[in-house]
C-alpha cells in the first residue's frame, strides 16, 4: 500500500489554524484503569475525555507517556473534526 504524498505547507497551515490551536488548548478529562479501550487510547465522541486502556502501563523507561498520548489523541480528533480528515 502506497502512502499518500504529504503537502507540508498544507500541514503547516492546518496546525496553525486558529480553530486547531484553540481546540488543542482545551482541557480534557483523562480516565485511566477503568475500561478496555481498543487501540490502547481513545477519546469520547465530543473529544473532551481521553480514555486509556486499563491494561496499559504509561511509564516507559521512567518517563510517563501520558502527555504524549493525550497530544496524539487531541490532534487526531481535532484534525478530523475541523478539516474532515479520515481516521485512516
Per-residue pLDDT at 7: 87
In this structure, the chain runs to a length of 88
User: Could you give the C-alpha distances from 27 to 22, 60, 63, 74, in angstroms and in order?
Assistant: 10, 24, 22, 10
Average pLDDT over the chain, rounded to an integer: 94
Per-residue pLDDT at 3: 76
Selection from 41, 38, 39 nearest residue 50 by Cα? 41
Strand order in the sheet with 29-35: 29-35, 49-53, 41-43
User: H helices within 1-88, ranges in order?
Assistant: 8-16, 18-25, 66-83
pLDDT digits (tens, 9 = 90+) for 36-59: 999 999 999 999 999 999 999 999
Amino acid at each position: 500500500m502506497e502512502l499518500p504524498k504529504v503537502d507540508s505547507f498544507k500541514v503547516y497551515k492546518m496546525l496553525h489554524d486558529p480553530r486547531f490551536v484553540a481546540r488543542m488548548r482545551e482541557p480534557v478529562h483523562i480516565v485511566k484503569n477503568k475500561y478496555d479501550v481498543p487501540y490502547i487510547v481513545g477519546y469520547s465522541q465530543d473529544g473532551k475525555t481521553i480514555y486509556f486502556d486499563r491494561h496499559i502501563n504509561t511509564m516507559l523507561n521512567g518517563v510517563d507517556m501520558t502527555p504524549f498520548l493525550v497530544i496524539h489523541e487531541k490532534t487526531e480528533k481535532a484534525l478530523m473534526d475541523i478539516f474532515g480528515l479520515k481516521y485512516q
